[in-house]
């Protein structure tokens, strides 16, 4: 499914001098970065540094007050249907009366247009995605009946069937244990291998070192951006976290 994206056109993500505000206070400024297809990008910074704000701005959920966000040669909103957003656990209403399969099928809605319902093909895609994420045969269960890691996989399956160019993950490691992290890593590497850009906002620095190709350091403004190997340095971390973090020698 996601692997079928033969993307000859350049679908890089271009962030140009983005500024986003909540009311009158600027939450985020001066973010400029280019991220190529197939890249796993980490967004790090202390609490309140604007990680979530940046992801939501890219997702079009929060308006930007300045700058531009483009996906390839088009303004990103015109490609909205190919931007998959995986929300933070806390933002999901787990009591909502939907099954795992219902949630995954939501990833197919945009491709159906306004009046058509997902059909047998979409159902098969959704079931295949659940199966790939190790949830075969569990699609008919209510979403509250899964563990934290399984719940996250449901949302990864939803992103998968959306056939996206860009997947945005907001704090994906919350409540996810070691076994589930392994599945998570496999999945995002699969995404990247098929040319999808994966963006992960997280405060878990160990994960950043382990998973990402490039890293964007935020503290209400962009502190640094570049390949993880050269950007994830003690100096940049200190500048980003301002001494709130005991910097273990990084990038080594």
Partner 1 sequence: MNYLTEPLSYPFMQRALIEVTIVGTLCGLIGCFVVLRGLAFIGDALAHAVFPGVVLSYIGGRSILIGAFAFGLITALGIGILSRSRRVSEDSAIGVIFAAFFALGVVIISRQGGFRKDLGSLLFGNILGVSSSDVWATLVVAIIVVAVTLALLKEFTLVAFDPTMARSAGYPVFALDILLLLLVSATIVVSLQTVGNILILALIVTPPATARLLTDRLGRMMVASVLIAIASGVAGLFISYHAATAGGATIVLTATAAFLIALVFAPNHGLLAGLVGRRRGRHHVHHYHGAGEDPETA
Backbone conformation region of residue 149, classed left if phi is above 0, alpha if psi is from -120 to 50, else beta: alpha
Determine the Cα–Cα distance for residues 20 and 202; give it in Å rounded to an integer. Answer: 19
Query: What angle is formed at CA 2 by the lines to CA 109 and CA 39, rounded to 5 degrees?
Result: 115
Determine the Cα–Cα distance for residues 186 and 25; give it in Å rounded to an integer. Answer: 39
User: Least CB distance from residue 101 to partner 1, whole Å?
Assistant: 11
**Nearer of residues 68 and 81 to partner 1, judged by Cβ:** 81
- Across-strand partners of 28? 20
Phi/psi at 173 (nearest 5 deg)?
-95, -5
User: Is there a contact between 101 and 126 (Cβ–Cβ < 8 Å)?
Assistant: yes
Lookup: tokens for 93: 């209403």
Cα Rg of the chain, angstroms: 18
Burial label for 40, CB within 10 Å (0-12, 13-18, 19+), is buried
User: Least CB distance from residue 219 to partner 1, whole Å?
Assistant: 24
**Nearer of residues 197 and 223 to partner 1, judged by Cβ:** 197
**Nearer of residues 56 and 70 to partner 1, judged by Cβ:** 56
**Nearer of residues 33 and 92 to partner 1, judged by Cβ:** 92
Q: Token pair 């985020």 is at which residue? A: 28
**Nearer of residues 99 and 209 to partner 1, judged by Cβ:** 99
**Nearer of residues 118 and 172 to partner 1, judged by Cβ:** 118
User: Least CB distance from residue 194 to partner 1, whole Å?
Assistant: 19
Pick the closest to residue 58 from 91, 9, 14 (CA basis).
14
User: Least CB distance from residue 72 to partner 1, whole Å?
Assistant: 16
Q: Could you list the residues that contact partner 1 (CB under 8 A)?
A: 23, 56, 59-61, 77, 80-81, 83-85, 87, 91-99, 102-103, 106, 109-110, 112, 114-115, 117-118, 134-135, 142, 144-150, 158, 162, 168, 175, 177, 179-180, 183
**Nearer of residues 152 and 212 to partner 1, judged by Cβ:** 152
Determine the Cα–Cα distance for residues 50 and 48; give it in Å rounded to an integer. Answer: 5
User: Least CB distance from residue 59 to partner 1, whole Å?
Assistant: 4
């Amino acid at each position: 499914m996601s692997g079928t994206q033969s993307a000859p056109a350049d679908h890089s993500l271009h962030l140009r001098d983005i500024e986003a505000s909540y009311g009158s206070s600027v939450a985020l400024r001066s973010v400029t970065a280019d991220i190529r297809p197939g890249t796993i990008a980490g967004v790090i910074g202390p609490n309140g540094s604007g990680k979530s704000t940046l992801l939501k701005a890219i997702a079009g959920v929060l308006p930007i007050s300045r700058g531009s966000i483009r996906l390839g040669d088009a303004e990103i909103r015109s490609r909205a249907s190919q931007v998959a957003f995986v929300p933070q656990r806390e933002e999901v209403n787990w009591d909502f009366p939907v099954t795992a399969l219902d949630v995954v099928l939501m990833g197919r809605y945009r491709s159906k247009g306004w009046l058509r319902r997902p059909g047998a093909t979409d159902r098969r895609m959704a079931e295949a995605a659940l199966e790939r994420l190790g949830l075969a045969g569990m699609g008919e269960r209510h979403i509250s009946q899964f563990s934290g890691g399984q719940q996250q996989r449901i949302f990864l399956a939803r992103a998968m069937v959306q056939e996206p160019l860009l997947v945005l993950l907001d704090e994906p490691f919350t409540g996810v244990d070691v076994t589930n992290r392994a599945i998570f890593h496999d999945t995002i590497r699969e995404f990247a291998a098929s040319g999808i850009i994966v963006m992960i906002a997280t405060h878990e620095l160990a994960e950043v070192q382990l998973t990402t190709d490039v890293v964007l350091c935020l503290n209400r403004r962009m502190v640094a951006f570049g390949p993880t190997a050269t950007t994830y340095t003690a100096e940049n971390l200190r500048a980003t976290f301002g001494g709130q973090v005991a910097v273990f020698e990084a990038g080594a």
